[in-house]
Amino acid sequence: MTERARRRKQKPASFPHGHKRSADRATNAGSVERVRDRMRAPAGTSFLLFLCVAVLVAMGIVRIQSTTAVLEAGGDITKLSEQQASLLEEKRRLSAERAYLRNPQQVQAVARDELGMVPVSPELVQKIRVREAPTP
């Protein structure tokens, strides 16, 4: 059996207080560092992890901004639709009022009742003749 195999079979001395001797640590120090080296992540892994997290956060922010923009646009569309409906209703009302006020019977009633106007008899109508200007 080789020296190395004998060392593996030997159990380390354990003490009731749970500590090892300083000499024991020196012999195992190389193996602990080798285990740490094997467990250590390859160079650049932490940067790669940071980069992935940063990309995911950026994607989340962009998605939230686009969702917010869509919701704001929807709110604007709703307000403009309500404004359009009210303007169409006002246009309909004003068209009906215009048709009522342009009715000849309505015009005659307003002229007679509110303005005190009376129809003119044909005898009172005078003709106006325009003279031509003399030519020099």
- pTM metric for this prediction: 0.46
How far apart, in Å, are the Cα atoms of 5 and each of 1, 9, 69?
A: 6, 6, 70
| 42-73 tens-digit pLDDT | 777 888 999 999 999 999 999 999 999 999 99
Cα-flanking dihedrals φ and ψ of residue 60, to 5°? Answer: -65, -40
Residue 131 domain flag: no
Residue 118 domain flag: no
Residue 82 domain flag: yes
Which domain covers residue 29, as residue numbers? 7-111
Residue indicated by tokens 């080789």:
2
The total of structural domains in the chain comes to 1
Cα-flanking dihedrals φ and ψ of residue 55, to 5°? Answer: -65, -45
Residue 120 domain flag: no
